[in-house]
Amino acid sequence: MTLLLAGDIGGTKTSLALFSPQQGMHRPLAEATFASADYPNLESIVSLFLSQVHYQHIERACFGVAGPVVNGRASITNLPWVIDEAALRRTLGIPQVQLINDLFAVASAVPHLNPGDLHTLNVGQATPGGTIAIVAPGTGLGEAFLIWDGSRYRACASEGGHADFAPTNRMECELLNYLQETLGFEHVSYERVCSGLGIPNIYSYLKHINHAVEPEWLTRQLAAAADIVPVIVSAALDGERQSSLCLATLRLFVSILGAEAGNLALKVLATGGVYLGGGIPPRILPVLDEELFLKSFCNKGRLKELLLQMPVHVIMNQKTALIGAAYHALET
C-alpha cells in the first residue's frame, strides 16, 4: 500500500496526516494536530507523529507551509522556523519530500472538493476551464489561483496577502492612518487587516475612535485570553450577549475581505469561481451571508456585472490543505 505523508504547517498549528491512494484522499489513515509554537522545528513534530502511528515505509511527503518556498526552503511567516526539503529527507528517511506554499496546497485540493465541503455565497455561473481564485484568511492571509492547462487544473502560488491595503471608503482610510500613525506600521498589507492578525487591529481602531462601548464582561474576557480573536468572534455572534463593537469589527473585516477577493478575482479573471479558505470564514458565516460581502466584492465599477457572474464559495472542510498536499505528492 502506497503511503503519503501530508502536512499543513501554519503559524498557530501544524496538522499531519497519512494517506493512501487506495483508501482515497478524503479518508486519512491517521492524523494529528500540534501547537506549532511548542516545538523547535518541523522535524520534531513529524518524528513525534510517526512514532505514534503504526505505518512504516512512507514513500512521499508533501508539506504546505505558511510562507514562500524558494529552492526547496521556506521561512514560516509567523513562526521562527526555517524548513529545508533536503534536511527533512535526511532526518525523516523519506525518499521524496516536497515543500509547497500552504495556499498552493489548498488550491491543489479545490478541484477535488465535494459539494458538502462548500457553503455558497454567490451561485453565479462558472466558466468551464475558467481560472479559479482562492483567498484564505487564517492566522495570516493566503492567496493562490488555479489555471486550466487543457487537461487539468494547475495551482499557482502567490503572496498577494502582503500587497498594499487599499481602502475603499472613509472608515477604511482612517483605519489605514491609525495603523500607520498610532501603531507605527511602516507597511500596511491586507494581512494586517484581513486575517487573524488583522482582526485585533480593526477592533483596536474601532475602540480607539469610540465606535461603540466595550462592556466590562468583554474587557475581562479579552484580558484573560491568550488569543483575543475567538473572543471577538464569539462576542460578535452571540445572540444573547452580543457586543456591538465586536460585530462592527467583523463587518469591517468582511467588507475588506470582499474587496480583496474581488481584487484577486479581477487580476486572474476568476470566471471559474472564487473560494474563501482559511480558518476564519467558516466561523463567521452569519456575517458573510449578509449582503455586505457581496456588495464589497462586486463594487468594481464597470466590471460589477462580471463579478456577479462569478461563483463564490466558502471552503468548510478544514482538512483541505492536507488533502491538497496529498494530491500534489501523488501527482508529482
Domain boundaries, the chain: 4-108+319-331, 115-316
What value does the mean pLDDT take over residues 268-285? 97
Statement: residue 195 has pLDDT above 70:
yes
Res 15: pLDDT: 95
Alpha-carbon gap, residue 311 to 301, rounded angstroms: 19
Alpha-carbon gap, residue 201 to 193, rounded angstroms: 7
Question: CATH number of the domain at 4-108+319-331, please?
Answer: 3.30.420.40
Residue 40, φ and ψ in degrees, nearest 5 = -75, -20
At residue 209, the 3 state secondary structure works out as: coil
Res 143: pLDDT: 94
* CB environment 316-327: b (16+ within 10 A), e (fewer): bbebbbbbbbbb
> What are 20's three cell numbers?
493512501
| Burial class of residue 181, CB neighbours in 10 A (0-12, 13-18, 19+) | exposed
Res 77: pLDDT: 67
The answer to whether 130 touches 273, Cβ cutoff 8 Å, is yes
pLDDT band, residue 332 (cuts 50/70/90):
confident
At residue 284, the 3 state secondary structure works out as: helix
Alpha-carbon gap, residue 150 to 87, rounded angstroms: 36
The answer to whether 195 touches 140, Cβ cutoff 8 Å, is yes
Statement: residue 1 has pLDDT above 80:
no
Res 35: pLDDT: 93
Question: How, if at all, do strands 153-158 and 141-148 pair?
Answer: antiparallel
Res 179: pLDDT: 97
The model carries a pTM of: 0.92
The Cα angle at residue 174 between residues 171 and 176, in degrees rounded to 5:
115
pLDDT band, residue 67 (cuts 50/70/90):
confident
Statement: residue 78 has pLDDT above 80:
no
Statement: residue 5 has pLDDT above 70:
yes
Alpha-carbon gap, residue 181 to 208, rounded angstroms: 13
pLDDT band, residue 76 (cuts 50/70/90):
confident
Residue 79 or 125, more confident: 125
What's the fold here for domain 115-316? Hexokinase; domain 1 (3.40.367)
At residue 118, the 3 state secondary structure works out as: strand
List, in sequence order, every residue forming a beta bridge with 138; answer none if it has no partner: none
Res 276: pLDDT: 98
Statement: residue 309 has pLDDT above 70:
yes
What value does the mean pLDDT take over residues 91-112? 94
Alpha-carbon gap, residue 19 to 88, rounded angstroms: 19
* pLDDT mean across residues, the chain: 94
What value does the mean pLDDT take over residues 102-112? 94
Alpha-carbon gap, residue 18 to 272, rounded angstroms: 30
